[in-house]
Each structure stands twice: as structure tokens, then as C-alpha cells.
Structure 1
């Protein structure tokens, strides 16, 4: 009987012990992340963001704080997280989609309280440009400042504090109550405190990491070591288009290089209005202080489809429409037009650019622009949605 009693007592102790262990079980940091992201986020095996292969001929450094793998990883999660909107429906990626070179095929993007007032820029090589101002109208002077502005915008992500809407501090509290952010911020910063500065640092590092340097143009430049000669991997029309792009009108070209300088194809500093002045909402309302644009890289995807309508108001749906605009600049109601787009100044004021491109030259210019499209940016998992398993 004593033996049976001790056996029963032992079983009871083991059961109680196991129950206590179960009650006291605390999941590890990696388990918390795995429950949300599966195998996509592994603290011990992070994607590489800081050692991207940047060609030696790229002139501009990746502006902003130096990229660190863990911070860019957190930035990726923030970029795709709908918790950053007031109603949990919109993320940064809603308007900047990987399959469209981080842009939107819609003219205006949908936010929590309406539509965006300008078209969503492609986020291609944003750090490889001469300027440090961002947005179409250059209203902020750093990428760190830029990345949280859409979150605070009442129409876009809604944490504006306007008309009773939640404030940005409400967002910080919301994220602080999320277990995977507690893990990630503590892992990176040594404590789980979430601040705007930390959000800006991580989001900007992820955006800076989105790079495209694997186009046919890059292949041709590597093959020749010189942007001037004909590229061996181009056909006759593409090489003609390259000549037109990089040569001034005085010398028989189209002069695109005056504003968009290879090999980055980013817009130069101190460029003024390009003659596209209407708002998205109303073609009769002027929006003429837009002087920044994305790089001309990845205007189309590898399948040949445009990654989104062009210009701040999405007024051009094809590359041909864009070329036609610069081929013949309409001076009607133009304000602050860049002098580079003047052919001359007559007795009644500036005379708009008249390139008089032939149909074959228009086609050649378009064919060249298509060679600026890469491949990796569209499919690389490190820039993909970590919430999709």
C-alpha cells in the first residue's frame, strides 16, 4: 500500500510540476516573431541590407544614416504593417508596391480618409541623388523626416490629430502594445521604447536599401567602361535613344541629360517646373511647385508594363505621352518653367522647347528608357511583405 501511495504521490507531483511549468512558460523572442512572420524574420539570420552591390560608377553615396541589417529589417516590418494607419487598413506598401517598383498604378492612392493629392513616387534608388529634399515639392529636407509624414497625413494614414483623429503619440502607444515590436525594438536599441526618431531611422534605412542597378544599361556600361560609345548589348534604336538622351538639342539630341544625369538618372538640383502644372483633382487648378521627381530607372517593369502613371498628377499613361510633352512644350499658363525648357525668348516672353523629333527618334528614346529597368527590385524577398507566409 505504501508503494502505491508513493507512486500516486509522485505522479501528482509531476503533474503539478508540469502544470506550473506550463503556466510560467514565456515564449522566446524568436517564437514571438515566428508566430507572426513564420521563417521570414530570423534574428540570427537577417537579410543583408547593408552590403548591397553598388557599382563603382555610381557617384552619389546612399544619403541618410548608415544601413544596418537589424534596423532595415525592422523598417521592412513597419513599411508593410497596416497598424501604422488608424483603421489598420493602410500601410506604406499600399501606395508603394514592390511589383510596381514601389509605386502605385492608380493616379491617386487610397488612404484612410480619402485620396492622396499627388501620385505615389517610385521608391527606386532614393538615396542616390544630388539633393536631400523629398516629396514632389521638396517640402522636407531629409528622408528621415519624410517617412513619417504620410503617417501623420489625415487623408493617407490618419494619425493627424485633426477633427478628433488619433495623434502620432497614439500610434506610438499602439505599437508599444504589440509584442513583436517590443521584441524588435528591445533587440535593436536595448529597450522597448518606441519613438518617432527610432521609427524614422528604421523606415528610412529600409527605403534606402531599395536599389536597382541590374538593368541592361548597367550591363552595357560595365561592358564598355564608358557611357559614350554604342553599347554592345543594345540594338541600333536603343543606341540612337541613348545618344538622343545624352546629347543637347544644339548638338542634335533631346537634352534629357540636362535634368536627368546618368548613371543614376536622378533629377539634378535646382530644377524648376517642367510644364506639368495641373492637380490630380482638377486640370484647371495649378500645382506648379513640383521640382523633384524619382529616378528614371524602372519606369516600366521587366514585362514591359508601365509601373504607374507619370508626373505628380499622373497625367501621362505612356512613355510616348511623356516624350511628346518634352518634344513640344506648351507655354500656355506656364509658371516658373525651367529655363532649360525654353528654346529662346521672344518679344512676348519665352518660347517653349520644340525638339521636332521624328517618329523613329521618339521610338528610339522610349526604347532607351526601357533599358533602365532592372529585375531584382521586383522579386527580391528582402523587400517583400514579411506578413505574408
Structure 2
């Protein structure tokens, strides 16, 4: 028997409303066929192509605190959508303490040049990466050591949750839960996290090659792009390691001169050689998404530029990447002017998009109390008819959004993200909302039935 969970109340800026954290298996988000620019050539999918059904399961797993031994930590606890799936804290909080490294942003993991994962590249593939935090004593606690439960215990726990019976059968054809299936689903969801709507991408559409000046850039931003791309003799040489247009780290790198250990002053770690992409270092409003480097030691883009401009000469660093040394083998001193430094910072800011921060397909599907509603798909007819059914498509919307329900006669309000009432209407079963003249951003659609049931859905305008 599939479990239908009720909605809970959530305080929004415009009052107490029922927020439906519904996963609608008949109206899946597009994970598998997202548009990828022609100039993006890297792809580490490696035999696990994204499928909408499996990625939907991955989304639930990613946000589910039941994957930690104390039911308090999810993957999303350390990888927050509003922070480009990073963490504003230097060290993330796990079930048994603080993580040893800063949690890196999960942006465009599918399009990384280096196919190994984690700062120290210990995971051979993204699939291998996905369950290691779950089996870490500090992070999520299913390590099987130090008195921790085992991975088998986790699988038994997930089997007791009715919604996973539905989701695994929907994704894989039967209800069996295995570690390998967890890996496949989580990796597919993470690979779907893509960001290609930055001003850099807008500029790429206007030229034949990224080496050309971008018409949509300021002179300072074009100067920064030129410095980034060109070698140290003519620029800063950043592209030697962070190759555009993916801006992920190239293969076979050594460390970058930052050799500290998070939370352990004076300690040294030379194994950190794989950072995330340079895309979405900052939020769309310009604020830094998270501290930078594996030890979270930099709190601004200028600090990063200053580091590469004059890398410290530390005799204990025996594995500084050769591309960061001069002809004598000493750490590089670029001698950039203040104007050049500011230009590099300005260019790095152009690599930030907007969709990844708000798109519902990557958002939390759970209600605040940890409940979740699964409708459609493999649910039986009689059981599905009992569930409050509200579907909005497409979401995100470009112009018109269609709302379908099984709630009968209803009243409908549309609010802005700040709680301003934008429209009201009474309708039955199917409603069309015109968003063609509304600004991009997040909206709330409140529905109330004749018997007083209230459901609010989030709607994103592109």
C-alpha cells in the first residue's frame, strides 16, 4: 500500500498556507533533455545517462534526512540550492561533528574535465562519490564503524518508508533498494544540476570564439576575460588550469599553493587538487556563495586573485602545480596591477547564472515536518483519487501555465514572492495562467476548495 501524506502549514510573508511538497510522477521535471550549449563538450556521464524517473528519485534521496543515522542531515544540508549547492559555513555540520574540508559547490558536475571527485580526487566517478558521505562517520553516520549503523541498516530503513517503494518501482521497475541504485539515482540528479545562463554564456552566443571581445561585456570585463585566457606573459594564465568554457579544473593537476586544513591551524594537506568549476562563485546579487578553497580560507574573489598573483613560497609544499611556478621553479609572481586584479574579479562575476538557484526541479520536495506527497505514476486509481492533485506545467513557465486539479470548484490567488496579491479567479478542474507580462522570479499560487482545503504551489517565471 502506498502512503499518502498530508500537507502541513508554513508561514510565508502573506500568512499561513498549506504548502504542497508534491512529487507528481505524471508530470516529471525535465532532467534528461535540458538544453546544453554546443560549445560545452565535456560529459562524464559514463554509462549512467540521466532519466527523468531516476533523477526524480535522486532528488528525493538528495533532500531526505533519513539518509543520515540521526535523521537530521541530508546531502542538501551541506549543498544548499540558494548557494549554488554549496555551504556558507567553512566546515559543514555532520551527525558527529564538522567536516574536514569545505563542502564544494555542485555546479555542472556532469561537465567536469577531471572525472574524479572530492577535493583529493579519491572517488573514481560521480557514482562512487555519492554514497561516501553517507558512509562517513562524521558526515551522515552510516559508516559501520565507531558503533555506527551500516549501509545495510540504511537500506532496511529506506525499505520501511512507503514512498521509496513507489519511487524505486517507478525508476527501476521493482521496489528493490540497493547501494548501486542509490548511486545511480543520486548521480543522475547531481549531473542534472547545470548552469549555462550566465552573462558569459550570453556573450558566447554573440561571437564565434570566446577569445573575441564580448559585445555584452564592459571594457573591464573584457579585460578580465583576456587576462584570464592569456598566458602569464600576456595575462594571468588562469585558463591553463580552469579551461573555458566549462571552467572546470583540468586533469593531472597538483595543489594550488593553499595547503591548510580547515579548522586545524598549522596543519598541512597537499592532496587537494580538484576544485569545483569557477561558474557561480557568486550569487546573482553578487555575494559570495561560500568561502573559497578546500579549507574555506578565502572570503572574497580578490583574495583569490591576490593569492595567484603572489603565491607563497612555502618549502613544505613539495607538490605545487608546475603551471604556477616561474622558469626557476619558484612560485609565480604575476605582478598584476590593481586595475588588472579588479578586471579579473569583474570577469569571474560574469560566470554566474540564475536558474540553478530557484528552479523547482532542484528544490526540496519535502515539507518542513519531513513528510512528502507522491501522486501519479504507479499509484492505484482508487488511492490516487484520494490524494489532493494539483499539477502546474510547464514550471518554470515562459508565458502560459496550465493548472490541473481533482479538487472540483475552487478559488485561486497568485502572489509575488513578497506576498503581493497579483490576481484572483474562481475556476474548476483546469485553469490557464498568463505569465507572459510578469517579471522573472518566484510566485506562489494559492488554491482553496469549497470545503476549505488550501494548497499553495511554487511557480517560477523564466
Aligned to 1:354: 333
Q: Per-residue deviation at 1:40?
A: 3.0
Residues 171-220 of structure 1 deviation map (CA, whole Å, 9 limit, x = unaligned): 00000000000111122222211100010000000000000000000000
How far, CA to CA, are the matches of 1:131 and 1:185 in structure 2? 30
> Is the CA contact (8 Å cut-off) linking 2:313 and 2:330 kept in structure 1?
yes
Cα distance in 2 between the residues matched to 1:61 and 1:34: 40
Q: What CA distance in whole angstroms lies between the structure 1 residues aligned with 2:292 and 2:137?
A: 24
Q: Which runs of 5+ in 2 are unaligned?
A: 9-18, 368-456, 458-462
Counterpart Cα distance in 1 of 2:208 and 2:44: 22
Give distance in 1, aligned partners of 2:172 and 2:45.
22
Aligned to 1:297: 279
Answering whether residue 362 of structure 2 is matched by residue 383 of structure 1, we say: yes
Give distance in 1, aligned partners of 2:269 and 2:149.
29
Larger radius of gyration: 1
Matches within 5 A, 1:237-386: 237-250=220-233, 252-332=234-314, 333-345=316-328, 350-386=329-365
Contact 1:344 1:352 in 2 (8 A): no
CA–CA distance in structure 2, aligned partners of residues 320 and 283 of structure 1: 22
Separation (CA, whole Å) in 1 of partners of 2:4 and 2:166: 8
1:45 equivalent to 2:24? Answer no
Preserved CA contact (<8 Å) 1:138 1:292: yes
Worse overlay, 276-285 or 138-147: 276-285
Render the CA deviation track for 1:131-150: whole Å, top value 9, x for unaligned.
21000000010111100000
Tell me which residue corresponds to 2:174. 191
| 1:140 counterpart residue number | 123
Q: Secondary structure at the match of 1:41?
A: strand
Residue of structure 1 equivalent to 2:40: 58
**Aligned counterparts of 1:322 and 1:375: Cα–Cα separation in 2:** 23
CA distance in structure 1 between the partners assigned to 2:156 and 2:240 by the alignment: 47
- 2:204 aligned partner: 221
Between the aligned partners of 1:63 and 1:245, the Cα distance in structure 2 is: 28
Q: Report whether the alignment pairs 1:174 with 2:157.
A: yes
| Aligned equivalent of 1:200 | 183
**TM-score, normalised via structure 1 length:** 0.89
Supply the distance in 2 between the matched residues of 1:326 and 1:382 (Cα, whole angstroms): 37
Kept after mapping to 2: 8 A contact 1:126/1:208: yes
CA–CA distance in 2 between the matches of 1:275 and 1:92?
29
Residue 34 of structure 1 and its aligned partner are, at CA, apart by 7.2
**CA displacement 1:218-260 (0-9 Å, x = unmatched):** 000111121111101000100000000000012x200001000
Matches of 1:111 and 1:88, distance apart in 2:
11
Higher strand fraction (1 or 2): 2
Partner of 2:420: none
Structure 2 vs 1, CA of residues 39 and 285 (structure 1 numbering), >3 Å: closer, same or farther? closer
Q: What are the Cα deviations for residues 270-329 of structure 1, in whole angstroms up to 9, with x where unaligned? A: 011100001012231111111111000000010001010000000100000000000001
Match of 1:116 in 2: 99
8 Å Cα contact 2:73-2:140 kept in structure 1: yes
State the SS of the aligned residue for 1:344: coil
Uncovered stretches (5+) of structure 1, i.e. residues with no partner: 1-25
Aligned length, in residue pairs: 356
TM-score by length of 2: 0.75
CA drift of 1:62 comes to 4.6
- 1:43-62 Cα offsets, whole Å, 9 max, x none, are 11111100111000101125
